[in-house]
């Protein structure tokens, strides 16, 4: 059913349609509206046979989900930013135990300095934890990916994180087609665990494994994720048939045919990039974009196939691996490894801590990649003057104080409040 609805509410309804049995909630901006939404559905009795548990921390939220999942219940939780980091130990544990928990991540920057706005630092911090990580471009996709996530998680017995841009998606009201219960039921069978805590068949789960077997256990986790590269398109196809529209997939190329320059990005920014691609195509520039849905597992073969013919690949990403550069760019670089006549890679860091990524800036960036390519990571719309002053200040003064505060002081001095 088509609805004009806030992203978080749409996701809450989609999650409820998946019939979760245990939901653990701890509030953190910008995830709050999602758990409030499912909580209200449980409280009102619209979502039945579901325990909604208000816990005391994110670490407990995922731990409760671990217990529920190991005991055979379909478990769901949601978090963002600092919350994901606070549950980090349990994030790895859930993956290691092979528990098919689904978690929404309302992507948000990580402090310090504290910042509630959107970027992908949180997802990147947990990219190697063993979870499948899917990025939604729109709220429609966020809805579809949650339904896909439960099926995928339970098929592989592996947790899935659905990443949705904080505020940009979670708080945006837009048109979303919410499926009905029969449609979701026809896609998602009841949870049939591969291992379960059962007094009739007592098993010990989560014991110690030494060097004699640890490598094999890790290899099989990697192998299992590789299976998702086959399952994600297969399940997306099933969903597309049921819903009568395109859903999910590993990635989505847009106007990449005969493109000299291909942009790669994840999440909501792909919408803006598509607009820029359209504009530049109208001007005769051969440019396209790949919207990457599945970051983990990383679809190396598909990316190689699509990117190989291009001259330039521009990676626009909302995270910075401090001391190295862009983590997505690194992964794309790895995907292009040993490719004859491989395209030149251009890495751009954009939208950190919620900074808007404008069409004008993207146009400049894509032109620059062709006409005046840079080395290393380019920080889109970096205030070079402010950065330069601060570097100079720190060199001169030992007790130079907080970087964040100094930058803000500079901005205030450059843009004083009007008198009166």
Q: Which of 202, 284, 323, 420 binds another protein (CB under 8 A)?
A: 202
Burial class (CB in 10 A: 0-12, 13-18, 19+), 420: exposed
Dist. CA 57–CA 86, nearest whole Å? 8
Regarding 215 and contact with another protein (CB under 8 A), the answer is: no
Regarding 49 and contact with another protein (CB under 8 A), the answer is: yes
Structure-block tokens of residue 140: 């429609």
Region of residue 317 (left: phi > 0; alpha: psi -120 to 50; beta: else)? beta
Q: Which of 17, 34, 59, 317 binds another protein (CB under 8 A)?
A: 59
Question: Residue 266, SS3?
Answer: coil
As a three-state string, the secondary structure of 117-150 is CCCCHHHHHCCCCCCEEEECCCHHHHHHHHHHHH
Regarding 116 and contact with another protein (CB under 8 A), the answer is: no
CB under 8 Å to 100, separation ≥6 — which residues? 69, 74, 150, 153, 154, 156, 157, 158, 159, 160, 191, 193
- Give least dist CB 278 to another protein, A: 48
- Segment near another protein (CB under 8 A); pick from 85-93, 239-247, 261-269, 337-345: 85-93
Regarding 192 and contact with another protein (CB under 8 A), the answer is: no
Between 63 and 319, CB nearer to another protein? 63
CA angle 257, 261, 265 (to 5 degrees): 95
- Segment near another protein (CB under 8 A); pick from 67-75, 168-176, 290-298, 349-357: 67-75
Between 213 and 417, CB nearer to another protein? 213
Dist. CA 92–CA 84, nearest whole Å? 11
Regarding 88 and contact with another protein (CB under 8 A), the answer is: no
Is there a cis peptide before residue 323, judged by omega within 30 degrees of 0? no
- Give least dist CB 196 to another protein, A: 8
Structure-block tokens of residue 19: 């019939």
Regarding 21 and contact with another protein (CB under 8 A), the answer is: yes
Regarding 400 and contact with another protein (CB under 8 A), the answer is: no
- Give least dist CB 20 to another protein, A: 10
Number of chain residues interacting with another protein (CB under 8 A) = 44
Regarding 57 and contact with another protein (CB under 8 A), the answer is: yes
- Give least dist CB 192 to another protein, A: 13
CA angle 21, 165, 2 (to 5 degrees): 65
- Segment near another protein (CB under 8 A); pick from 64-72, 109-117, 306-314, 376-384: 64-72
Q: Which of 4, 45, 180, 204 binds another protein (CB under 8 A)?
A: 204
Structure-block tokens of residue 263: 């942009």
Dist. CA 12–CA 41, nearest whole Å? 8
CB under 8 Å to 347, separation ≥6 — which residues? 315, 317, 325, 326, 329, 376, 377, 378
Regarding 370 and contact with another protein (CB under 8 A), the answer is: no
Between 71 and 300, CB nearer to another protein? 71
Regarding 67 and contact with another protein (CB under 8 A), the answer is: yes
Regarding 301 and contact with another protein (CB under 8 A), the answer is: no
Is there a cis peptide before residue 350, judged by omega within 30 degrees of 0? no
Regarding 50 and contact with another protein (CB under 8 A), the answer is: yes
Regarding 44 and contact with another protein (CB under 8 A), the answer is: no
Dist. CA 77–CA 25, nearest whole Å? 6
8 A C-beta contact, residue 62 and residue 199: no
- Segment near another protein (CB under 8 A); pick from 3-11, 49-57, 306-314, 395-403: 49-57
Regarding 82 and contact with another protein (CB under 8 A), the answer is: no
- Segment near another protein (CB under 8 A); pick from 162-170, 171-179, 201-209, 261-269: 201-209
Residue 76's DSSP bridge partners are 23, 102
Regarding 46 and contact with another protein (CB under 8 A), the answer is: no
Contact set with another protein (CB under 8 A): 21-22, 24, 49-51, 53-57, 59-60, 63-73, 75, 89-90, 93, 97, 195, 197-199, 201-210, 213
């Amino acid at each position: 059913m088509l609805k004009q609805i806030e992203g978080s509410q749409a996701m809450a309804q989609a999650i409820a349609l998946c019939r979760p049995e245990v939901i653990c909630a701890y509030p953190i901006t910008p995830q709050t509206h999602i758990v409030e939404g499912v909580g209200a559905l449980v409280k009102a009795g619209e979502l039945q046979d579901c325990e909604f548990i208000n816990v005391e921390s994110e670490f407990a939220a995922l731990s409760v989900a671990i217990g529920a999942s190991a005991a055979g219940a379909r478990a769901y939780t949601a978090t963002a930013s600092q919350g994901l980091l606070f549950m980090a130990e349990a994030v790895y544990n859930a993956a290691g135990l092979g528990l098919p928990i689904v978690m929404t991540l309302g992507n948000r920057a990580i402090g310090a300095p504290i910042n509630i706005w959107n970027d992908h630092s949180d997802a990147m911090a947990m990219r190697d934890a063993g979870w499948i990580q899917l990025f939604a471009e729109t709220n429609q996709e966020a809805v579809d990916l949650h339904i896909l996530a439960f099926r995928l998680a339970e098929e592989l017995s592996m947790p899935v994180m659905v990443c949705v841009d904080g505020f940009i998606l979670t708080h945006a009201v837009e048109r979303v087609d919410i499926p009905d219960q029969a449609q979701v039921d026809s896609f998602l069978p009841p949870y049939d665990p591969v291992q379960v805590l059962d007094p009739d068949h007592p098993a010990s789960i989560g014991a110690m494994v030494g060097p004699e077997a640890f490598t094999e256990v890790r290899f099989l986790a990697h192998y299992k994720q590789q299976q998702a590269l086959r399952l994600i398109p297969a399940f997306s196809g099933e969903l597309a048939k049921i819903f009568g529209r395109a859903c999910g997939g590993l990635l989505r190329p847009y106007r990449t045919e005969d493109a000299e320059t291909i942009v790669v990005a994840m999440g909501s920014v792909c919408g803006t990039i598509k607009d820029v691609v359209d504009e530049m195509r109208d001007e005769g520039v051969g440019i396209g974009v790949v919207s990457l849905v599945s970051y983990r597992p990383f679809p190396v073969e598909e990316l190689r196939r699509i990117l190989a013919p291009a001259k330039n690949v521009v990676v626009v990403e909302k995270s910075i691996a401090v001391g190295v550069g862009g983590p997505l760019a690194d992964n794309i670089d790895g995907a292009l490894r040993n490719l004859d006549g491989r395209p030149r890679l251009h890495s751009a860091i954009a939208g950190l801590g919620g900074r808007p990524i404008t069409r004008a800036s993207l146009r400049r960036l894509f032109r620059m990649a062709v006409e005046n390519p840079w080395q290393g990571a380019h920080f889109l719309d970096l205030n070079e003057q402010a950065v330069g002053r601060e570097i100079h200040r720190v060199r001169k003064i030992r007790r130079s104080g907080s970087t964040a505060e100094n930058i803000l002081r500079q901005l205030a001095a450059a843009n004083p409040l009007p008198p009166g």
